[in-house]
Amino acid sequence: MGQPYPPHPPFRPVRGRVFGGIRRWLTAAAGALALTGALVAVSPQATAAGLTQVTGYGSNPGNLTMHTYVPDGLAAGAPLVVALHGCTQSASDYYAHSGWPKFADAYKFALVFPQTTSANNANSCFNWFDSADSARGQGEALSIRQMVDAAVARYGSDARRVYITGLSAGAGMTANMLAAYPDVFAGGSIDSGLPAYCATSVSAAYTCMYSPPNKTPAQWGDLVRSAAPAGTASWPRVAIWQGTSDTTVAPANATELRDQWTNAWGIGQTPSRTESLSGGTTLSQYDDASGRPAVSVYSISGMTHGLAVAPGSGPDQCGTTGTYYLDTICSSYHTARFWGLDGGDGGQDPGTLPAPAGLTVGGTTDSTVSLSWTPVDGASSYTVYRGGTKVGTATSTAYTDTGLATGTAYAYTVAAVDATGAVGTVSSSVTATTTGYTPTCHTANNYQHATAGRAYQSGGYTYATGSGQAMGLYNTFTTHTLKQTAPGYYVLADSGCSA
């Protein structure tokens, strides 16, 4: 699956040993990018005055340093987010550019920034491709696990609401951590990264980066299940961020990640819904049985390799630009909301009220959905969720959602809220489809269509979602125009497409 890109070989000392050919490669390809060892920073690392190094956090078999950011007034029981930098970066660099401190202040959660060094990897990459560092209970993975334990004890963080995110090599390690420690992490975000345990050697890392293996969803899911503790039945909620013009990590990796984590969750690979966001971003969400997004894929049109940021003071803006910090959309904002850190379903202490019964769709128009449900004793209000995201509150047992797209399916759930503000159990999901439909046209290569959910791949070939029309090889070189004629239904329109 996928086409190989021009080789950018990584190099990595392994505890004092150096792979052959480093000097020859440096001469031939100085400055080339590689996830395992050549994300070359050209700007000085920022100073992070709010960052504190924590020592003595554990046995630290992975030789990592621990840095934390804790907003003023952080209460006990707050969430915890672990953020892993990319190659040649550092904890302070990621703190300064990623935008995560802004939302730690706004939503009140603690941040942990692990940091590796050239003593572990020649270019300070997390060793995502080395099982001695990325398997449960081993090396760097265990050091990160020990940081979580230390932060939970030090800051009183809620052990049920621990999340992990990372860029590039940090994203590769994030995927492995989610697979190895599903009992630790409630959610993760893989930014320009690789499927969990795609590689266990440097040579295999090349394949994963440039032309990931053509595994079935079940085969990818098996890698997750085999890494997790035996009997694991609950999995983290996973956000996947990928630029469509990334030549360091092929965009096909986002599709393989989607296949891997939807299979782990036991759900299909057809999106429950798609949505256009700012920065040329297409969001495709895959719901669990309750109607909440379990996997979300954010495909950013034209973005190269890096972390998506959007400098500015707006509520949905964050970060600063720099080497591999790209001005497109604030990924940290959308990831925090996906996890519920903004006070949505995943970001509040669970209440004791039962789930409302009888959630039904009372009616729809081109832009509205009317809902009703049975009252819950002890409820002072109700929270309504669309696609797992809070969209409104109601003091009665009815709610009308407005401003919706025509001819689009939306999944809704509702939860009762008691007098203290604690949100109870979320109801079962109902789906409502607005009336009408406005066709849309999309021109892109086959990788991009598949990543956005407009197509799917099978056996190295691409097919239009819904119609199943053949689109040719699954690669970045074959381009087609698809017309969406109904929700989740696309047809080839290369000869002409009018919305």
Q: Which residues are catalytic?
A: 168
Measured distance CA(323)–CA(470) in Å, rounded: 39
What Rg do the C-alpha atoms of the chain give, in angstroms? Answer: 22
Instruction: Tell me how far apart the terminal alpha carbons of the chain are, to the nearest angstrom.
Output: 32
Name the DSSP letter for residue 346: G
Is 386:322 a contact under the CB 8 Å cutoff?
Answer: no
The residue among 218, 240, 75, 109 whose CA lies nearest residue 167 is: 240
Give the list of residues 6+ apart from residue 125 with CB closer than 8 angstroms, or none. Answer: 10, 12, 35, 36, 37, 39, 86, 87, 88, 116, 168, 169
- Other C-beta atoms within 10 Å of 428: how many? 14
Give the list of residues 6+ apart from residue 192 with CB closer than 8 angstroms, or none. Answer: 167, 168, 171, 241, 242, 243, 246, 248, 249, 305, 306, 307
Q: Which two tokens stand for residue 469?
A: 């029309």
The residue among 419, 423, 351 whose CA lies nearest residue 383 is: 423
Q: Which two tokens stand for residue 56?
A: 């003595």
Q: Which two tokens stand for residue 170?
A: 């940090």
Q: Which two tokens stand for residue 35?
A: 């996830």
The residue among 239, 158, 172 whose CA lies nearest residue 205 is: 172
Measured distance CA(444)–CA(480) in Å, rounded: 6
Measured distance CA(136)–CA(146) in Å, rounded: 12
3-class secondary-structure state, position 301: coil
